[in-house]
Amino acid sequence: MTNIGEKVVCLVAYHIFFMLFVWSYWKTIFTLPMNPSKEFHLSYSDKESLEREPRGESQQEVLRRAAKDLPIYTRTMSGAIRYCDRCHLVKPDRCHHCSVCDKCILKMDHHCPWVNNCVGFSNYKFFLLFLAYSLLYCLFIAATDLQYFIKFWTNGLPDTQAKFHIMFLFFAAAMFSVSLSSLFGYHCWLVSKNKSTLEVFRAPIFHHRTDKNGFSLGFSKNLRQVFGDEKKYWLLPVFSSLGDGCSFPTCLVNQDPEQASTPGGLNSTCKNENHLFPAKPLRDSQSHLLTDTHSWLDIGAKAEKSKVGMSNPALTMENET
């Protein structure tokens, strides 16, 4: 490059993309995955009872008693409460046990070897931004290198050792751009549908049936659940996701009889963004998704509390890792 203005613009743009890429990559790697809170862990007496009792109705009773006040709505394939026998806890919705980390991860998406970390509730936004900025970084390099790459093939470049660098840089940036664009596009689709990679391969199972769109609240709310309500933070790798990772708004086709029912005989059917969400979570979230007039209804929950978790004989314990 010979033009000073062109040099300045390219250097400034390059370093902006580079710093955002490194920042988001760093946050993805070093943000610790969130684990279920203590409310989901079995008490010492419950663990003893579970180990002492034979597999059957007695163990079912222990798990029902442990899970009756928890905001869980997903089940195993056999209809059992999702229980991790390695962490000794009742799994929150969308939580899975990572065999690499050997712990349960909230809203686990996958374990990524490229960042040597689990991608889950605590760092999913950082992972998305890492993909976005690495893609922009590679596209910028390929675009600024393209004219010199063309000159290389048309013998328009001076005869220097920089020829090899120009050729290698363009091929490397272009190939990474292709792979990153497909991966980034896939995760954009996941965000729009409010799904994780694991939920695509195995749809969440609620009490009534399997529902692959059970957590989808519509595009706008799905986006805000990952990026937050304040748009000024959307493009920065700072944590702004909504909720606590232990409980999520859901669009149930039929009310789960194991949980407190909504007042007034309201039907929790998902239609046109009018979502009636499950009972109140363990910790109130400041999220508008979880605190608007359509969400987390707890009127009459006390009246139903004594009956929760005691009426479904179909629930059987199933260890799931």
Among 2-11, 80-89, 274-283, the minimum mean pLDDT is found in: 274-283
Task: Provide the pLDDT confidence category of residue 200 given band limits of 50, 70 and 90.
Answer: very high
CA dihedral 192, 197, 202, 203 (to 10 degrees): -20
Residue 293 has pLDDT above 80, yes or no: no
**What is the structure's pLDDT at 65?**
84
Residues in Cβ contact with 160 at an 8 Å cutoff, skipping those fewer than 6 apart: none
Judge whether 212 and 174 are in contact, CB under 8 Å.
no
DSSP 184: H
Range of the domain at 174: 4-32+122-233
Residue 246 belongs to a domain: no
Residue 190, token pair as written in the block: 């996941």
pTM, to two decimals? 0.78
**What is the structure's pLDDT at 284?**
37
Residue 297 belongs to a domain: no
The answer to whether residues 24 and 173 belong to one domain is yes
Residue 292 has pLDDT above 90, yes or no: no
CA distance linking residue 72 with residue 258, whole number of Å: 9
> How large is the average pLDDT for residues 4-25?
96
**What is the structure's pLDDT at 133?**
98
Judge whether 140 and 248 are in contact, CB under 8 Å.
no
- The tally of domains found in the chain comes to 2
**β pairing state of 205-206 and 117-119:** unpaired
Residue 311 belongs to a domain: no
**What is the structure's pLDDT at 189?**
97
pLDDT over 90 percentage in the chain: 54
Per residue in 95-147, pLDDT (tens digit) is 999 999 999 999 999 999 999 999 999 999 999 999 999 999 999 999 999 98
Residue 315 belongs to a domain: no
The answer to whether residues 213 and 137 belong to one domain is yes
Among 183, 214, 233, give the residue marking a domain's end: 233
The answer to whether residues 61 and 194 belong to one domain is no
**What is the structure's pLDDT at 254?**
43
Positions marked active-site: 112
Single out the residue of 231, 303, 196 nearest to residue 260, CA to CA: 303
The answer to whether residues 23 and 130 belong to one domain is yes
The answer to whether residues 88 and 28 belong to one domain is no
Residue 91 has pLDDT above 50, yes or no: yes
> How large is the average pLDDT for residues 15-25?
97
Give the residue carrying structure tokens 């009127």. 299
Residue 290 belongs to a domain: no
The answer to whether residues 17 and 156 belong to one domain is yes
Per residue in 216-266, pLDDT (tens digit) is 999 999 999 999 999 999 999 999 999 999 999 987 644 444 444 333 333
The answer to whether residues 131 and 61 belong to one domain is no
Torsional sign, CA 265, 271, 275, 279? positive
The answer to whether residues 25 and 166 belong to one domain is yes
Which stretch, 78-87, 98-107, 266-275, has highest mean pLDDT?
A: 98-107
Judge whether 259 and 278 are in contact, CB under 8 Å.
yes
Residue 136 belongs to a domain: yes
Average pLDDT, the chain: 80
**What is the structure's pLDDT at 262?**
36
CA distance linking residue 149 with residue 164, whole number of Å: 10
The answer to whether residues 138 and 223 belong to one domain is yes
187-195 long-range contacts (CB < 8 A, ≥24 apart) are 187/127, 187/128, 187/131, 188/128, 190/109, 191/128, 191/222, 191/223, 191/226, 192/219, 192/222, 192/223, 193/222, 194/221, 194/222, 194/225
Residue 112 belongs to a domain: yes
Among 73-82, 195-204, 225-234, the minimum mean pLDDT is found in: 73-82
Task: Provide the pLDDT confidence category of residue 56 given band limits of 50, 70 and 90.
Answer: low
Q: Which amino acid is at 229?
A: D
Q: Say if residue 181 is exposed, middle or buried (CB neighbours under 10 Å; 0-12, 13-18, 19+).
A: middle
Among 60, 91, 117, give the residue marking a domain's end: 117
Give the residue carrying structure tokens 């943000």. 31
